[in-house]
Structure 1
Amino acid sequence: MKNLLLFFALISVTISCKFYDAAPEPVETPHKDSTIVDVDKDKNGCLASAGYIWSKLNNECVKAFTGIQLNPADNASTEDETLCAYVLFNENADKAEIFLPDDISFIVTKSGSSKTWIYNDYQLVAHNGYELKKAGVLVFSGDGEIGKKVSGSDNPEGQE
């Protein structure tokens, strides 16, 4: 009887060890692509995380902040680019697209030989740079230089 018990114990241990040592059967799972596609693109295919937005004037994705920066009239010294408007001109400079901080853009058209571009009650005026007025009230202005404005210097004073 002792031998019989030993025999069953030995078989139980052998079977249970093989059960746990056996590699699990591979399970077929559908392959999922780990790349994210079109999650960050707008309806025109512009990559928002890289700063691109759709230009109605140029019919392509552009970085508006590479245009002429206009600061808010009530906060002209701001360094917060999200509060600024930007202007991009076409090649002839007879039209310009204005990008406002609230993701609205519109195209202004030059009025004759004057230095004024107009759209509805908006006027872009070339005056010591550019001024954007709405119904005659100044809302944005800038020096007319293209690109981001930097108020300080990367170099300590006196070094070049």
Structure 2
Amino acid sequence: MKAGKIGWMLLLVAGIVLAGCGNSKNKKNEDNMVGNDKDEYGCIASAGYIWSEVQKDCIRLWEKGVRMESVADKENTAYIVFAPDSLQVELFFSGDQPNEILDRRSLPGGDYAWNVEDDDTKNVRQENGKWTISQRGNLIYQQVDEAK
């Protein structure tokens, strides 16, 4: 009879240990759940949100931005996102290229362009009704047609 009690005790201890393991597994699953991946700003990347410095908010680029396509390589894309007051524009590039923030400047004809001081390394402007990004006078990105 003692052997039976020891067997039951071992079975009980094993059950408690296994139940504890099950709870830690559930905790790991909770940590890896979709939507549980907030960045330092609280943006949830798995839901498509990214921090925009000019918007001061978590945004989805395809909802707030203007999609641009590289002139040289159609696989490379960029998005331009304007500040609410349009005094700045933020450039989001595909790949590892860092975001850039450009300031609005008045042009002699009354239009505007966005660039960095007078350096003009990147220049955002609207030409013929479409947004463009040029660098040192060369067109590098242009707005994607909505019909595509």
The reply to whether TM is greater than 0.5 is: yes
Normalised TM-score (structure 2): 0.69
Of 86, 89, 100, the residue aligned with 2:82 is 89
Query: Given the superposition, is the C-alpha separation of residues 43 and 21 from structure 1 closer, same or farther in structure 2, using an over 3 Å criterion?
Result: closer
How far is the alpha carbon of 1:43 from its aligned partner? Answer: 2.7
Deviation track 1:44-82 (CA, whole Å, cap 9, x = no partner) reads 22211112111110111111222100100113xx4x5xx
Q: How many residues align?
A: 129
- Residue 49 in structure 1 maps to residue 46 in structure 2: yes
SS at match of 1:125: strand
Of 69, 72, 91, the residue aligned with 1:71 is 69
Counterpart in 2 of 1:127? 127
Rg larger in structure: 1
Normalised TM-score (structure 1): 0.64
Query: Given the superposition, is the C-alpha separation of residues 50 and 43 from structure 1 closer, same or farther in structure 2, using an over 3 Å criterion?
Result: same
Identity over the aligned pairs, expressed in percent? 22
From the two aligned structures, give the one with the greater helix fraction: 2
Deviation track 1:75-115 (CA, whole Å, cap 9, x = no partner) reads 3xx4x5xx210011122323211111135212212112433
Gaps of 5+ in 1: 1-13, 152-160
Amino acid at match of 1:46: C
When structure 1 is superposed on structure 2, of 32-41 and 63-72 the one drifting more is 32-41
Query: Given the superposition, is the C-alpha separation of residues 71 and 15 from structure 1 closer, same or farther in structure 2, using an over 3 Å criterion?
Result: same
When structure 1 is superposed on structure 2, of 93-102 and 32-41 the one drifting more is 32-41
Report which structure shows greater RCO (CA 8 Å, sep ≥6).
Answer: 1
Amino acid at match of 2:66: I
Amino acid at match of 2:113: T
Counterpart in 1 of 2:137? 136
From the two aligned structures, give the one with the greater strand fraction: 2
How far is the alpha carbon of 1:21 from its aligned partner? Answer: 5.7
